[in-house]
Structure 1
Amino acid sequence: MLISTLASLVPFLLATNALPLESRDGPTDNALVARDPGSNWVKIGCYVDTVSPRTLTGAQTVSDTAMTNGYCQQFCASRGFSIAGTEYSKECYCDNTIANPVLADEATCDMTCTGGVETCGGSARLTVWSNQGTPPAPGHETYGDWTGQGCYYDSVASRALPTQISIDQVTIEKCTAACFNGGFQYAGVEYGSECFCGDVIATDSGNVGTSAPDGCTMPCAGNTLEICGGSNRLNILSYTGSSLPSGPSQVPSVGDWDLKGCYSDDVTNRALPVRQTIEGGLTVEKCTDKCFSLGYKFSGVEYGSECYCSNAIGTYPNSGSPQTDGCAMPCEGAPSTEICGGSNRLSLYEYTGSGLSITPTELPSYNDFNSKGCYVDSVNARVLTPLNTAQAPMTVGNCVDACSAAGFTVAGLEFSSECYCGNALPPLSTTEGCVMACAGDSAHLCGGPDRLNVYQKEEAPVIRHYRIRTVRASTGDFLGYVAQNLGAFILPTYTTDVAAAAVYEIDGDATSTIPFSLHQLNPPDANHQYFGPYEGTPNYNIIGTISKTNPGDTKQPTGSTRSQYSLGESAVFSLNAVTSQLTQIWVQDNGVAVPTIPYYYGSGTIGYFMAVINEAAFQSIFTIAVKVNWYLEEVTA
């Protein structure tokens, strides 16, 4: 629009103070010096501005330290506007037309720009510039040999450009330089702070990889004059030069370290759990050297800047398995030559030499604490209580001693030098992740990241002693206890004198479904210390003092106090936990266990016990035998 035309318009009442800026375009300050906008921008005059309506109604920004006319021109051009106006030293407004074109006296545009010695409007005054050339559409600007291709759809689940590069304070120039060093044809900036590279623009569902009409509106974190995509929006640039390097590759070997391949990884379950800090930019050599110095046989680089070590590769559903793609990110310290994994991908190396220190192992026990294995822990929800009094440098013994002194029965060691205590085992055990040597004992393991090597105090087992109380099955009448001494037939009998009762201990687990044996204390025959049946007839067996047999055994040559040729079974008893009643079986020659029923034949000490298999056949012969029940009665004194 011609200046003479603008000057002929009727002026309106001018404000006397600065107009408030209604910021709507991201960060409002930028310390970077604006690039030379070129020679297409022409100053068209000093214009009146008001708060409502604004003279220029497009994008706007403010800089308390860096505003110049060039700064404002670049800001407006990057957002597709051909008119730029500076106001009140630090404000910038954009548009493609002047909504309320009221030309003011040039002398009223009298305020110095915050970023240079030039005029940036005044109070309610705009220094207005017009781009007389043909500005590129937003997202199609040229940066050296890189030309913008516009705004594209993207997705976290499926990237249009698959290789992400970690860049601090991203700008378009930084991202294109990183992609160039990696030998990539395309560079893309997203969400104001992310840089992606690729050799092709991949397409997928949800319009991924296709042109987007809007959404690329976020200023770059490193230069708010530039646009760096948006949420799920990617500003893509294509390399148009002729000298694109071949790009980095996975290093096949470094000294005695050989590339094992590209492996999956997951933040929650690391294939190599021990992360190391690398100074000065990651390379494969730096990571393998670090892992070697700490005695680890596996080394992995990931995401261009992360180094991990371990003595074993953890395997999980989403981690620890070989992959055919995804390892494509240049190493931060060697971007033009080396690949350092990718997003959730490890370039994994294995040490094949002989100079590695001894791999640490789990210490089986320390004093009366035994190893219980590896357990899962979390920084945000500790499964044991931290203890800071353990002697350093950390060893299993130092932690166990400290926990024991504090009255705890469980000790856990984590991340090489941390000690935790408790009185119960953690809830979740694992076979992965306990890979770090103790800080004070390189031969033994002290957990790992979020992993505990756990030790528990083994209490001396409580040995309980019992008498066998015998009652008449039909009435429940008490008959007596199985006697300590054998009766007239050199077989167990019963007595009503509790002091003369035999005392037994359970050999086995009374809470299990597996039968146990009853071992007599101070037996009358040291060679036959177990109470149990030996073979009589197919219908019944005799209860005697025999030798021990194993659960499930058929009759064995146990011998007995009565006969050295007896074939017996001792592991035949089970216990009702509620009533304490004993039940018993007999394992037949075919391996089938059948229940037996106790009977007593005789009276008092003149008689003996029998284990009946076929009651009808037995009762037809032993008509005066009494069916009994046995109960275990604990000896308490």
Structure 2
Amino acid sequence: MFPTVWAGAALVPVFSAILSTNALIFELPSHAKRTSHNRLAHKVKRAAPVLPIGWAYQGCYTDGVARSLTGPTFNADNMTNDKCVAYCAANKYIYAATEYSRECYCGNSLENGATVATSGCDMMCNGDTTQSCGGGFRISVYKSSATAPPAPSALASYNGWGYQGCLVDSTANRALGVGMGYTGSLTPQKCLDACHGQGYLYAGMEYSVECYCANTLPANAALGNLLDCNMPCAGNSGNDQYFCGSGNRLSFYKYGAAAISQSSSASSTVASSTSSQATDTITTQVVTTTQTTTSAAASVSNAPAANGWTTMGCYTDKVTSRTLAFGQPASAAMTIEKCQATCLAGGFKYAGVEYSVECFCANTLTVGAGPANDGRCKMPCSGDASETCGGADGVNVFFYGVAAGTSSAAGSSASSVATSSPSAAQPATPTNGVVATYNGWTYMNCYVDAVAARTLPVAMGVLGGPAAMTVELCLDACKKNNYPVAGLEYSSECYCGNALPPQIATDGRCKMYCNGAATTICGGPDGLTVYQYGVAAASSLSTTATSSSTVGASSISSSSSNTSTAAASSSSSTTTPASSSSSTSAPASSSSSNTSASVSSSSSTSASESSS
């Protein structure tokens, strides 16, 4: 008996050691803060990623709503550190970091107070469970030994454009009235090319992702402090590091003007600018007070209603199946109103904010999407901490007008995004010279348009500009920017939208050949040759589209519903492109004496119409 008791006593320290070594097995519920996904990451031996020459792991760092790396980013369900580093290296950045299993961030310096974290980078990479890809507001950081590119600055001059300063703007009264579409991520060159291609004299970039054009300035146009335009362009890459305005500020350019000195004091007076047209006298003054960069939206509650939007609450979301299909560029200054304005300008009736910095739009909710009741929508908006902008896999959804099931005395007259009637969606039989179908697009008909009220609101530039316009180039550009409706006008103009125009033209106005294809029809004076994507037979406009990620989503430059109004100009000044008149089926040439800024404009025999 004694040997048995002795043997049992001898085993007590052994069992104690086993229990201590395997404490995770007996972890108390009160300490089970991590998911099983995260806990498993502790038990798996880490595998070193395969890195390009010169790259090395730097450690675990803190992150926040104001990101530690402010360059391009993307999310992927197969994320690994290798993929993230390769992506940032390809875009000429020297820092790369993974976060939350599936997120990748790039930059050229650690910003916004990033510090070394002693813990938290314990989440497995979605694409390789032997690697750690950061954690909740923790980033696994990698760095290249290469030299960082220069800090951003304003692009001084480009192809005849000169930088004029930082122009004050507002969503209620745009300093440059025409929101311009573009492809890919915004750079100053893309915006300037797009504005020049449509014959505009002034151009400006705002809020990193927006492009605006005009031929005239409002009487109260004023320049702010040069330092106010301090947001890097969304398309910055490598050594091309430029500023694209900021909140309510435009990086402002004029065609044919010399660039100002950016080293001069912000309080220096800008000379008055007067055109030869008596009605177009514009004096711009400098605002010497430095203004804080803010969102265009006022600080309001989480459910703004005065602007026509109704809150729907917090909905579940997934990267693989977005509740709202059309992702917009993430912004370090996101607000609810900013996202709503972007969606409304694009013709969408649903808007949603997520993860502090993300904005999504759609005309329908994805099948299976539903309210989230677990409190996941609790992250403050990056541009206004008093608002809530969703959370991880949670999106705060808003509807323009009165949503189904929402009681309102004005319900019958609530504003809504215009949609085409079923009767207007019957494809017409193509006539001679009309491209019938192309890569999923179907010719619908010739529709009425007007400069003062564009029926397809987003003017889209194409590679080569108006002189190279073809049906295929226009359709490709609209598709790349997630628009299901496209139209061509006056041989050289391309427009996109989310709904068919309301009125079919029956007078044969769509008879002008494309500038880039002499046997193909590209609309006519006040006439759009319209195509719809995904329509092969009589059908109402489909608003269901393939889900798009927030990263790589094409930008829609307008953030206000007033951007569909084009600025018209018939000035004979040598600095303003002149409109041209033609009633023939051949493209009309510009009569402007400014040979470097000419453009064909939609017109009729009775009145000329300037290009937008």
Alignment TM-score, normalising by the size of structure 1: 0.32
Structure with higher RCO (Cα < 8 A, 6+ apart) = 2
Higher relative strand content: 1
Alignment TM-score, normalising by the size of structure 2: 0.33
Higher relative helix content: 2
